[in-house]
Amino acid sequence: MTTSTTDWTTAKLESLVRPNLLNLKAYSSARSEFKGVAEVLLDANESPWETGSNRYPDPLSTDLRVALGQYKHFNPDQIVFGNGSDELVDQITRIFCNPGDAVHALPPTFGMYKVAAGIAAAEFRATNLSPDFTIPVAELKSAWDEKSKILWLCSPNNPSGNAIDPAVLEDLIRSFPGIVVLDEAYIDFVPELSFLPRLAEFPNLIITQTLSKGWGMAGIRLGAAFAAPFIIRMLNTIKMPYNINVLTRGLALEALRAPQKMQVKVDTLIAERNRLAEELAALDCVDHIFPSVTNFLLVRFKDAARVYQYLLDQGIVVRNQSYQPNAENCLRITAGLAAENDRLLQALRTL
């Protein structure tokens, strides 16, 4: 079942969408109906006193799309925001999956793909990554069929920390019979690996990114999807009109005006991650440290359950990934401030 990108007509993309959504009319907000200069706003039952938050936000977050488009060198008309990329994962699943359709993912990976499939009553088909966390391409390809709607690829991957080989990525995007979503939540730690500059080559590709990780803004909940115009239209059709609130928009605009501040923090975290990897490797309780291009490390311990509980007792919380395939005895450790990382190392030295 191999298709080349040239086969992706709009009609073919449309055939992947749940039929009832193709003619669905999006909610038309008071603010999006008028054209012209707004001097007196008596259209939306808002409070008239200017407080910075008395007006409904722009449903299309236009200024934010322009700012992000400028920073990413990407067409703002092909961007949609979600209340975190979590929301986009759910929306994308609901656009393409009828109950019984299949989505594919490669555990160990991010948990929301499976949750979203469960909500949409879609079948979650897991093809485990190989023990070195590369993709078993032939096995994955043999798992998809005419029910397959979405392939979730996460690069760099959470929790393994590695990125997908670009040649493998390209092959999978070209050969998958449905929509490929590339989750680039950690791309700010390795921007040179982003597929965003190549998105136009792949009409069936959606890329998602977030301000939650490298940008340090998990609390404002802002994720972005980048895709071909037809897919953007569908995302705008089903999204709640005011999913991005004015406080989020304001803080995100401010951050995008000073990307060098983000860069300094990203560089600091990369250095701390490398230091952690080096110092952890010298500890007796550590068995293996997987290479990472993110702000976290997946570490195999000799007895992860014991280390996990011991750290908790010391007031240090890491994430136990032992339940995930090929991640037995593994803990995921986020790089923190130097002093926090020191505390972790000190605790482990006295284990």
Ligand X SMILES: *Cc1c(COP(=O)(O)O)cnc(C)c1O
327 touching ligand X, by CB under 6 A: no
Distances from the Cα of 243 to the Cα of 11, 119, 168, 238, 256, angstroms: 29, 19, 35, 11, 19
Q: Which of 223, 235, 321, 333 binds ligand X (CB under 6 A)?
A: 223
Per-residue mark of binding to ligand X, 136-155 (x: CB under 6 A): ------------------x-
183 touching ligand X, by CB under 6 A: yes
Q: Which of 61, 162, 204, 210 binds ligand X (CB under 6 A)?
A: 210
C-beta closer to ligand X: residue 207 or 277: 207
Q: How far is the CB of 218 from ligand X (least distance, A)?
A: 5
Q: How far is the CB of 109 from ligand X (least distance, A)?
A: 7
C-beta closer to ligand X: residue 89 or 97: 89
C-beta closer to ligand X: residue 208 or 329: 208
Judged by CB under 6 A, the stretch of 10-18, 161-169, 212-220, 270-278 that binds ligand X is: 212-220
- N-terminal to C-terminal alpha carbon distance within the chain: 53
Q: How far is the CB of 43 from ligand X (least distance, A)?
A: 32
Residue 47: other Cβ atoms inside 10 A: 9
User: Of residues 84-113, which lie at the interface with ligand X (CB under 6 A)?
Assistant: 84-86, 110
C-beta closer to ligand X: residue 110 or 176: 110
Q: Which three-class secondary structure state does DSSP give residue 222?
A: coil
C-beta closer to ligand X: residue 58 or 86: 86
C-beta closer to ligand X: residue 86 or 101: 86
* Token pair listed for 147: 């029910």
Contact between 27 and 60 under an 8 Å Cβ cutoff? The reply is: no
Half-sphere exposure of 78 (CA within 13 A, CB side): 19
Q: How far is the CB of 274 from ligand X (least distance, A)?
A: 20
User: Of residues 185-204, which lie at the interface with ligand X (CB under 6 A)?
Assistant: 185
The footprint of ligand X on this chain (CB under 6 A) covers a number of residues equal to 13
Judged by CB under 6 A, the stretch of 62-70, 96-104, 211-219, 310-318 that binds ligand X is: 211-219
Distances from the Cα of 111 to the Cα of 59, 190, 293, angstroms: 28, 22, 20
Q: Which of 91, 127, 148, 158 binds ligand X (CB under 6 A)?
A: 158
Q: Which of 212, 243, 292, 341 binds ligand X (CB under 6 A)?
A: 212
Provide the sign of the torsion angle of the four alpha carbons 226, 229, 235, 241, taken in this order. Answer: positive
What's the rounded Cα separation, in Å, for the pair 92 and 97? 8
What's the rounded Cα separation, in Å, for the pair 304 and 285? 9
Tell the residue number behind the tokens 């979590």, with chain if given: 86
Strands (E), 75-131: 79-82, 102-105, 123-126
C-beta closer to ligand X: residue 127 or 212: 212
What's the rounded Cα separation, in Å, for the pair 350 and 345? 9
What's the rounded Cα separation, in Å, for the pair 187 and 28? 34
Give backbone dihedrals phi and psi of 15, rounded to 5 degrees, phi first.
-70, -15
184 touching ligand X, by CB under 6 A: no
Which residues are at the interface with ligand X (CB under 6 A)?
84-86, 110, 154, 158, 183, 185, 210, 212-213, 218, 223
